[in-house]
Amino acid sequence: MFRLNPTLNVLLLTSIGIAGGMAACGGGGGGGDPLPPCPTGNCGKASFRKAIPTRQQMLVPFAGASARIGTAAVGEVSAAYGATADHVAEINDTLDGLFEDLEQLAGTTPEIEEDDLHQWRITEADLDIVLVLTTSDEVQFQLAYYVGEPGFDPAPGDEVAASTITVDDEGLNDLTFDIDFDELTDRVPEVDAQGLLQVRFQPFGDEHEIWYDRTGFAVGDDEAEDSITTYWDFGDGDGALEYIAAFASGDEATAYVRWDDAGGRYDHHALLDGAIDHVMTSCWSSGGIEEFDAWMELDGDQVIDGEIEGVEDDCDFGPVADHPAPGSDFDDLPQEGEWDDILAQLDE
């Protein structure tokens, strides 16, 4: 059943003082494959099953964990590469159980099968999980996901997750998925989370982008956050991720990661305690091997600490590379050539 990673954190390296988190998950990747063939012989109309999103479509691919094996003899693995891997794993772990449930439900015979409505039900851990899918035109669908006592009747307003889905000839085209963790925790206390998560899947050029946006979100006693995470798919093994967050304490964070099979680049800015700016850039080559690593802390315009290892020219990507609309959100990230200027200050 829908499960949640209990170690959920944020995308920043632990050296900042905010626990780190973006990471490697071999699967996932937006476009992906639709549901596998029905195993029972009758899982409902094909048009309805076509509208159900899968883990392969909705999870973020980041070729991470397996590439770390055996790299010690080659060079040090970038800590930022690992942090990116952790955040992606965090997102994927948060969503994996939900989409696994949807796939499992859609592999059973519907308990209600009508032209405009399908309803599936499974029982796990003494709870019923119910999926209701409705449509008037078999192009746009409304999805509702319920959890309750065995035999309960699902009613509008009681769902823990709801989605509006649009399909085309190729399959999933557009999706907005809202997950209410207060409602979910009320029904399944061991989830122990609060707040809202909205997932949005939409076209991006020939590929797609996915948003993972949190509002007042926290696990257990963790600090609540409002954040935006966006993943852009540029093709097989080629992607980017942004993270913009504000925390209940007043801390703020912005990060951008760009990668392909040959390597990647991570940049972040954090405002801590309302006064200290922490800025970082890290680049890696294939396998996550660190090629360039630089960080600094500033109090106002004054650099109070920092370190630079390597040469920024060894990075495969420049700052905020290929972001479709960076706007002003990334103005505080390191700019092209800025680390050379900072190095000169540190050497004074």
Is the pLDDT confidence value at 13 over 80?
no
pLDDT for residue 337 is more than 60: yes
Residue 48 has pLDDT above 50, yes or no: yes
Residue 89: the pLDDT is: 86
Contact 318, 240 (CB under 8 A): no
Q: Is the pLDDT of residue 72 over 70?
A: no
| 346 CB-contact burial (10 Å; exposed 0-12 / middle 13-18 / buried 19+) | middle
- Work out the percent of the chain whose per-residue pLDDT is above 90: 48
Q: What are 26-45's pLDDT values in tens digits?
A: 344 444 457 888 998 899 99
CB 133 within 8 A of CB 167: no
Residue type at 219? V
d(CA 7, CA 166): 33
Q: Which amino acid is at 71?
A: T
Phi/psi region, residue 184 (left: phi>0; alpha: psi -120 to 50; beta: rest), is alpha
Residue 237 phi, psi dihedral angles, 5° rounding: 70, 15
Please tell me what DSSP assigns to residue 249. T
Q: What is the mean pLDDT of residues 63-92?
A: 69
Rounded to an integer, what distance in angstroms lies between the CA atom of residue 199 and that of residue 332? 27
Rounded to two decimals, the pTM is: 0.83
pLDDT band at 24, cuts 50/70/90? Answer: very low
97-137: pLDDT as tens digits:
889 999 999 999 999 999 999 999 999 888 999 999 999 99
* Distances, alpha carbon 20 to alpha carbons 85, 112, 283, 309, 334, in Å: 10, 45, 17, 21, 19
Q: Which three-class secondary structure string do you get for 81-92?
A: HHHHHHHHHHHH
91 vs 73, residue with greater confidence? 91
pLDDT for res 35: 85
Q: What is the mean pLDDT of residues 218-230?
A: 90
* Cα 215 to Cα 247: distance, rounded to the nearest angstrom: 10
Domain ranges, ordered by start, for the chain = 14-347
C-alpha distances in Å from residue 302, one per residue of 149, 276, 306, 312: 59, 10, 11, 22
pLDDT for 10 = 34
Identify the band that residue 345 occupies on the pLDDT scale cut at 50, 70 and 90: low
Query: Across the chain, what does the average pLDDT equal?
Result: 83
Residue 49 has a pLDDT of: 94
Q: What is the mean pLDDT of residues 277-288?
A: 90
Please write the tens of the pLDDT for every residue from 150-167.
Answer: 999 999 999 999 999 999
pLDDT over 90 (residue 296): no
Q: Give pLDDT, residue 304.
A: 80
